[in-house]
Structure 1
């Protein structure tokens, strides 16, 4: 298994293949990985650092807010992701309808039938087109005034914002605000996606991996995921009686790397939490900053103090120096 983890670490760009500075380097990382987890902005930013040598924390914000070559919204599995802007439409075209269908029960519990959601998408988009970036409280007031929800609190507000995002009509703007996509990008998204193209991108960034790994990462149904993987894989391996697929035969990365919270590398597979200690995966949906070597977790660290807790000895000098460079300290 050691060779598998090292190969996956290299596939996921943790050998730091991107040497371009500025927002161009940020966009290159995001394209190569097929998207980065972005439940927290800091987590997405430090995921970029772990895969590049010259980008800075400020570059990540510039790429999303000024350059707009990357976009933050709900994509794979319906979770917040940072994806290349040109990938947003294909991803939502492929994943959006299933994500909405999978949320139907929750919409019902919140009292949000089709009619309310459709009207809310129009109301939210029109407000954002007229007023620009708006935060949750402002959008909640808009929904109350439109008579679509009874009060500006509770989970219905976020559910309607997210639903409008899954339709490709809004995304995150500056900070914790939302914007209308066709205003932010200058044109609407074209919602057309190809499962084989997504499978190829996944195997490039996560292989060797199984069809079920691809289904877990993307949110696609397993039969469709398997068909797409079978169509694009160029090499296969038998790992513990399970067939794993790849598009490249990678020698592997054996470096030490400090990853931010919710790093994509640790979330890219069906068994993603197997063998992760509670210090990294405490439960409750949290995934804390981790230290990996040759693809295997060997410790944790904290952003605020750069304090580390190693499970086994490792030289972190270069990584700690680079984190200070990245954050501008």
Structure 2
């Protein structure tokens, strides 16, 4: 069947759990999306608040500290949140591809199999007995073992240990992230093996409709692997065509709840980053120059990306800088301001709106 781009984007908003109201917990929001990009954890916590009933960062962090969802390198070579029960099979499905993507950087740094495996063993020994280590402590442990300890070396050594299912995130110490043994946080189970079909089903449940290229980019799987998985799921899928491209999804449920009129989507949110095709179009005069990384969030209204926003926590205040396209109507601007107020409350800070 055919569909228009607007309808596809609306279905994506609903699949991602952004329709209101929602009674999901933050962990259920993570589970719905299968994995949530989280190299900027504070921004990712806000992503989960937009998709759950959480009203404060403390609520989201409590679930994270309890190990209901964890942070590790999986999928693309960056951090993601994943529900505890999903971490092992996701790693089993994608780790080899992420390792392959890291190959050239590992060679440049002179990190071979011997160094990577020794780093994982050293970390496993240091974390034995339920200990957790913050990043500076990890650096000390690796240095004491005679391993390279420049910043990028440490990133690659720890990432290898994560991909090998040795270490994973531990509970936070104030604002500091820690590492723990994965075996201490998630017991091994019978359904922890590689499963591209399971990954496809979970991605489409929380992101569809999506193209083959969307799935491959998000998951790090090859186009061939994705197409094979789609063929196995063919009888379960709904497909639509837009401008000659095919988009796949699981059968949608009833359209329950209203779509939010304005969203302040944070840096690396799953909605703008989860797709290669049919992105939300920028409004005329959009303030983000093409091909320039402003490290900013996106302001979505209706079927368009209407601006950018950035935040800076300064003591008891959070400074929010909004930059909206010139044609954005006053009522949408007021709603965007209201979302900035909501963000400040989430962070338990006073708002300094720019």
Query: TM (normalized to structure 1)?
Result: 0.88
Asked if the contact 1:14–1:257 (Cα under 8 Å) also holds between the matched residues in 2, the reply is no
Judged with a 3 Å threshold, the aligned counterparts in structure 2 of structure 1 residues 79 and 278 are, in CA distance, closer, same or farther, namely farther
Deviation at 1:287, TM superposition (A): 4.5
Per the alignment, residue 210 of structure 2 pairs with 209
Which residue of structure 2 lines up, in the alignment, with residue 298 of structure 1? 306
Q: Secondary structure at the match of 2:53?
A: coil
Determine whether 1:266 maps to 2:269.
no
Contact kept, 8 Å, 2:281 with 2:304, in 1: the verdict is no
Describe how 1:122-271 pairs up with structure 2 within 5 A. Answer: 122-130=121-129, 132-149=131-148, 152-173=149-170, 174=172, 175-183=176-184, 185=185, 187-188=187-188, 191-232=192-233, 233-249=236-252, 253=259, 255-271=261-277
2:12 counterpart of 1:11 = no
Shift in Å at residue 84 of structure 1? 0.6
Q: 1:8 to 1:141 in 2, by over 3 A?
A: same
Structure 1 residue 19, shift from structure 2 partner: 1.8
How many residue pairs get aligned? The number is 320
Q: CA deviation at 1:291?
A: 1.2
Q: CA deviation at 1:279?
A: 2.7
Q: Greater shift after overlay, 136-145 or 164-173?
A: 136-145
Counterpart of 1:86 in structure 2 is 85
1:309 maps onto 2:318 in alignment: no
Residues 202 and 295 of structure 1, relative CA distance in 2, 3 Å threshold: farther
In structure 2, distance between residues paired with 1:131 and 1:8: 40
Partner residue, 1:326: 346
Per the alignment, do residues 163 and 264 of structure 1 end up closer, same or farther by CA in structure 2, a change over 3 Å counting?
A: same
**Structure 1 residues 87-133: Cα deviation after superposition (integer angstroms, max 9, x where no partner):** 10010000012211222221111111111111111111111225722
Distance change (3 Å), C-alpha of 1:124 and 1:12: same
Alignment partners' CA distance in 2, 1:45 and 1:281: 27
State the alpha-carbon separation in 2 of the partners of residues 134 and 280 from structure 1. 40
- Maintained 8 Å contact 1:134/1:177: yes
- Answer yes or no: is the 8 Å Cα contact 1:266–1:272 preserved in 2: no
Tell me, what secondary structure is at the counterpart of 1:103?
helix
Whole-Å separation in 1 of the counterparts to 2:261 and 2:109? 47
Within a 5 Å distance, the mapping from 1:55-66 to structure 2 comes to 55-65=55-65
- 1:281: Cα distance to partner? 7.3
Q: Secondary structure at the match of 2:308?
A: strand
Residue aligning to 1:28: 28
CA drift at 1:14? 1.5
- Check whether the contact 2:84–2:186 (CA below 8 A) recurs between aligned residues: no
Moved more, 45-54 or 77-86: 45-54
Q: What is the aligned partner in structure 2 of residue 48 from structure 1?
A: 48
Distance 1:53 1:319 in 2: 15
Greater displacement, 194-203 / 131-140: 131-140
CA distance in 2 between counterparts of 1:186 and 1:242 reads 40
**Residue 18 of structure 1, CA deviation:** 3.1
Q: Determine the C-alpha separation between the residues in 1 that align with 2:310 and 2:104.
A: 37
Does the 8 Å CA contact 2:93/2:194 hold for their aligned counterparts? yes
Asked whether the 8 Å contact 2:263–2:299 carries over to 1, the reply is: yes
Deviation at 1:272, TM superposition (A): 7.8
| Alpha carbons of structure 1 residues 108 and 189: separation in structure 2 relative to 1, 3 Å | farther
Structure 1 unpaired stretches of 5+: none
RMSD: 2.5
**Could you tell me how far apart the structure 1 residues matched to 2:72 and 2:21 are?**
25
Distance of aligned partners of 1:9 and 1:280 in 2 relative to their CA distance in 1, 3 Å threshold:
farther
The Cα shift of 1:177 comes to 2.1
Tell me the distance in 2 between the aligned counterparts of 1:278 and 1:164: 40
Distance 2:95 2:87 in 1: 11
Q: Is the 8 A contact 2:287 2:323 kept in 1?
A: no
